[in-house]
Amino acid sequence: MGKPTGFLEYPRLEPVRQPSATQGLNFAEFMYLFNPSDARTQAARCMDCGIPFCHAGIQLDGASVGCPLGNMVPEINDLTYRGKYTEAYRRLRLTHPFPEFTGRICPAPCEGSCTLGEHEQPVAIKAIERFLDDYAAAHPRQFGHLDQPEARTDRKVAVIGSGPAGLAAAYYLNALGEQVTVFEGADRPGGLLMYGVPAMKLGKDVVLRVVQRLEAAGIEFKLESPVGDTVDAEWLLEQFDALVLCTGAPLPRMPNIEGGTLKGFYPAMLYLTYATKRLLDPHFPAQAELEATGKDVFVVGNGDTATDCVATALRQGARSLTQLYYRNKPPIGRGPRNPWPLYPRVLKTDYGQQEAIALFGCDPREYARNIIAAKGDANGSVESVLVADVEWHKDAEGLLRPHCLPADARWRPAQLVLIATGFAGPDRRLLKLLGLETDVRGNVATQRSDSYATSRRRVFVAGDAHRGSSLVVWALKEGRDAARQCHQYLNESAGH
């Protein structure tokens, strides 16, 4: 695929990013497009590798191998290399409803499994996908028909939640002819795409553009309609032929820290949601305790959400910024237990850390360290945290366990501590109202590992509420597959 010798001739090229430190930090999207020449050159690097793993779409040893959506990456790259952008986008849309999202925020498991990545830098698949999406956005008349169903049934399906899984479920149910209504508790659609991902990483106009596409295709959105509060769960089951639950896993996983209940300790999503609400609505009430301006900020965690907290705190004018992670520093290259084509568990310096380095002159990350206690001021607000080193030792079963070293701990100033250590699962109250069983991890239980049907007839589940906190591309895949199972169930129930 691509140019036979392209991977030998052209180095990997990254899209131009906004030079944050020199031009000032803002909330505009920081990544700019490939121009057509760059996109073709980068697509030319896609080698004729025989058995491509970039679209394998499986999990192995707990890691993603290739794109869960099964995007036909070599074919898409070949068409892009030949300048056939319309055909390339159409090929992408055969398996992918929303390249708007993955072209911006996906960590690209496809690139982690790229054959070229064994010995060289992988093909810039994510950036090529972003190029094709922006090409399609500039030529909407060529692709509007891709969202329209061929025929309609008289059946109604309710999708609860408008995050990536909910949007994907709604898209495919609509494409299969069902009448779809999406119920969203927030004042804007998109779930975490709207409020959990900062605007500089995913412009909110992009999220609204997707929703407008879906509305034009016949999907109805009901905002400020939280199921279990203003919308009765049982009423939904009376009014709709089926439900697809896509509420995500919003419950934060908060560590047990002495003094961790002081004001100033907040879950990452609460902080990011507030920041985006303030950005979108200048009249949204200000909460000084949730602002990083002029404060010593600690971010606990090492994933994408932690990076988003770092970048947002920088934009709010944090005085200092420290990111703690209790595990050891990842290696520069793949280790013996992380071979290709598994997703590479290696040291990566993402945009938030790059910006902090440019602004403060040092990497904000400190590895094998954790907060073990906190002290507050007279008002009950955190003013300092006790940071200890962490050592890892094997227990009697040979498993590595962390051990804090309080003797070497020291107090450090902190007025805002953001916890980005993961999520504990879906809203238990809603699950109880719907009468749904849960699995050992607290997620919604299904009949089989490859099933999206819950313990209650006519109710399906997809995304993080089903599999636990995961990548946006897995949420899209789950939404797609749940929609197909729901449609099949409705057909069988109708005797088709």
pLDDT band for 282, please (50, 70, 90 cuts): confident
Structural domain ending residue among the three candidates 419, 436, 457: 419
Assess whether 139 and 164 both reside in one domain: no
Expressed as residue numbers, the domain containing 201 is 148-250+423-493
Mean pLDDT of 184-190: 97
> How far is Cα 483 from Cα 29, in angstroms, rounded to an integer?
31
Domain assignment present for 1: no
For residue range 312-347, what is the model confidence (pLDDT) as tens digits?
999 999 999 999 999 999 999 999 989 999 999 999
- Mean pLDDT (the chain) is 93
Q: Is residue 22 scored above 50 in pLDDT?
A: no
Mean pLDDT, to the nearest integer, of 412-418?
A: 98
394 inside domain: yes
- Whether residues 415 and 271 fall in one domain: yes
Mark whether 134 and 48 lie in a shared domain: yes
What confidence tens digit (pLDDT) does each residue in 351-402 have?
A: 999 999 999 999 999 999 999 999 999 999 999 999 999 999 888 888 889 9
Instruction: Give yes or no for residue 132 having a pLDDT over 70.
Output: yes
Q: What percent of the chain has pLDDT over 90?
A: 83
**Could you tell me if 102 and 29 lie in one domain?**
yes
CATH number of the domain enclosing 119: 1.10.1060.10
Domain CATH code at residue 304: 3.50.50.60
Do both 263 and 245 map to the same domain?
Answer: no
Contacts of 335 (CB under 8 A, 6+ apart): 345
Is the same domain home to 413 and 428?
A: no
**β-pairing, 156-160 with 179-183?**
parallel
Q: What is the mean pLDDT of residues 157-179?
A: 98
Indicate the helix (H) or strand (E) that contains 339.
none
For residues 339 and 203, state if they share a domain: no
| Same domain as 376, residue 322 | yes
Domain boundary among 145, 162, 192: 145
Number of domains in the chain: 3
User: 302 and 346 share a domain?
Assistant: yes
Residue 122 pLDDT greater than 80, yes or no: yes
Same domain as 15, residue 108: yes
**Phi (first) and psi of residue 381, to 5 degrees:** -100, 145
- Is 343 found in the same domain as 444? no
Binned at pLDDT 50, 70 and 90, residue 24 comes out as: low
CA–CA dist 290, 274 (Å, integer): 8
What are the angstrom distances between the C-alpha of 257 and each of 296, 372, 375, 386, 412? 18, 6, 11, 10, 15
User: Does 192 share its domain with 311?
Assistant: no
Of 145, 163, 186, the one marking the end of a domain is 145
